């Protein structure tokens, strides 16, 4: 690498290439191979541009990362709620099922999750699954507030989870 300073205003010969550079910056660096293209890098000006690009791009990148994290946590929570609803519907489809047994099955399925104790009351259709004739549908709906599942990471940009709920309904046939 060859350094060209501002004081050198005469043409330079580098491996057969003639360059005449009149530059306002302090330092120029000539880079490139003997047969390849030559480029001049303005080191001090470029550092300022990189800082400006970082300042402009970093908030957008941070927003995308936070959105991905929040969405991932919500998706995992929704999968857990869906699995719990399926387990509850399976319990409700068994002979002699009671709302208490269905509730206990759902709570057991959600036990590893931090929102296990914060689910809303289950919605059973019909309310007493033991009275449903064989072959008829029974459904279990599990609901939980979104803020109980995931942190509200995007509220500072106007996208809030406040008032939103995750809900999953599973239907099974009575055995």
pLDDT (0 to 100) of residue 166: 94
Residue predicted with more confidence, 22 or 157? 157
- How confident is the model over 8-13, as a mean pLDDT? 51
Interatomic CA distance for residues 162 and 155, integer angstroms:
9
Q: Which residue is listed with tokens 């959600």?
A: 110
The answer to whether 13 touches 4, Cβ cutoff 8 Å, is: no
Helix (H) or strand (E) holding 142: strand 137-145
- Say whether pLDDT at 29 is over 70: no
pLDDT tens for 165-175 read 999 999 999 98
- Position 127 scores a pLDDT of 87
CA distance 99 to 28: 78
Show me where the domains of the chain are located: 2-41, 45-173
pLDDT band of residue 20 (cuts 50, 70, 90) is: very low
CA–CA gap between residue 85 and residue 54 (Å, rounded): 46
Distance between CA 69 and CA 142 in Å, rounded? Answer: 23
pLDDT tens by residue, 75-97: 999 999 999 999 999 999 999 88
pTM of the model: 0.68
């Amino acid at each position: 690498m060859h350094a060209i300073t501002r004081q050198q205003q005469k043409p330079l010969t580098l491996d057969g290439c003639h360059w005449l550079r009149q530059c306002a910056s302090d330092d120029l660096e000539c880079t490139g191979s003997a047969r390849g293209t030559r480029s001049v890098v303005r080191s001090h000006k470029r550092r300022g541009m990189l800082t400006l690009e970082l300042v402009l791009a970093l908030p957008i990148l941070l927003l995308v990362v936070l959105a991905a994290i929040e969405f991932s946590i919500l998706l995992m929570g929704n999968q857990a709620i869906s699995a719990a609803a399926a387990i509850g519907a399976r319990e409700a489809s068994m002979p002699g099922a009671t709302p208490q047994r269905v509730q206990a099955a759902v709570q057991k399925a959600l036990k590893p999750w931090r929102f296990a104790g914060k689910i809303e009351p289950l919605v059973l259709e019909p309310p007493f699954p033991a009275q449903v004739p064989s072959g008829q549908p029974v459904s279990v709906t599990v609901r939980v507030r979104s803020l109980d599942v995931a942190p509200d990471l995007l509220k500072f940009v106007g996208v809030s989870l406040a008032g939103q709920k995750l809900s999953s309904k599973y239907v099974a046939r009575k055995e």
